[in-house]
Structure 1
């Protein structure tokens, strides 16, 4: 199974605000290791640009079997992403690690435009992605 993973805005700064000092490179290595163990082939991207994010979804729609995305700050206003994922009709999960750098992160997530069954919430960013990998591999 092929899965496209797209990290959204500010994930390149993960090590700056994570109390565990997990960097994006360390996270990606962990994702790749776990993917190999469960027989997933992953492609990983990170972008701050919504247009590029959408283009990655569109251009990979016939190349992958599912998506794991982290919308970050775009999450509460993600109507265009929800519509795109609905049209593409492939399995997907939205990773949300509950950051302590935002005072009321849960209130932001309550504004989500996505059905909660697609959202993986975890305080630990690495575990959130690994949970998403496990769920999508069982599809």
Structure 2
């Protein structure tokens, strides 16, 4: 990150499977905001934090892995809601580990208050932190935490 100004910081926000159905899918669990609404909130928060935010959603594991790989050299951090892949995907875990970009895992619901199969995250051991249970605000908290981490890391390098 040497030589980057804060205004040049860029974060990739990855949304996993079924998140394209937000607003329709089980609003009692995931809330009533659409994915576009969440992205708009993140874009506004990114402007406040002076960080460019790019978005990608896919229902396909390989497309998410490709996006993580392609983030090298483009982004300084990743914010990810891997959806159900959180609990099943070694490929996403390995991709995050391989690129070595600071990554924050977020979830709309508290995955530890749900079915037992949701209590395990393959991703959590390779991310800098996890935020869950705050609805759309989980994303904003995740972006704030990632921005704080990137600034701290940048100051340690300089």
Instruction: Return the TM-score normalized by structure 1.
Output: 0.88
Unaligned runs of 5+ in 2: 1-8, 150-158
Q: Is 1:7 the counterpart of 2:37 in the alignment?
A: no
| 8 A contact 2:102–2:128 mirrored in 1 | no
* CA-CA distance at 1:117 after TM superposition: 5.4
Corresponding residue for residue 78 of structure 1: 89
Q: Is 1:136 the counterpart of 2:135 in the alignment?
A: no
C-alpha deviations, 1:79-114, integer Å up to 9, x for none? Answer: 111111111111001111117xx9x62623322122
In structure 1, C-alpha distance between the alignment counterparts of 2:68 and 2:144, rounded to whole Å: 21
* CA-CA distance at 1:78 after TM superposition: 2.1
Q: Which of 11, 25, 47 is matched with 1:36 structurally?
A: 47
| 8 A contact 1:98–1:106 mirrored in 2 | no
In structure 1, C-alpha distance between the alignment counterparts of 2:115 and 2:134, rounded to whole Å: 11
In structure 1, C-alpha distance between the alignment counterparts of 2:74 and 2:94, rounded to whole Å: 19
Corresponding residue for residue 53 of structure 1: 64
In structure 2, C-alpha distance between the alignment counterparts of 1:41 and 1:63, rounded to whole Å: 11
Corresponding residue for residue 92 of structure 1: 103
| 8 A contact 2:103–2:128 mirrored in 1 | no
- CA RMSD, Structure 1 to Structure 2 (Å): 1.9
In structure 2, C-alpha distance between the alignment counterparts of 1:69 and 1:135, rounded to whole Å: 13
Unaligned runs of 5+ in 1: none
In structure 2, C-alpha distance between the alignment counterparts of 1:46 and 1:118, rounded to whole Å: 21
Bigger Rg, which one: 2
Instruction: Return the TM-score normalized by structure 2.
Output: 0.78
Number of positions where the alignment pairs a residue of Structure 1 with one of Structure 2: 135
C-alpha deviations, 1:25-66, integer Å up to 9, x for none? Answer: 111111101110011101001110111111111112111001
Corresponding residue for residue 110 of structure 1: 119
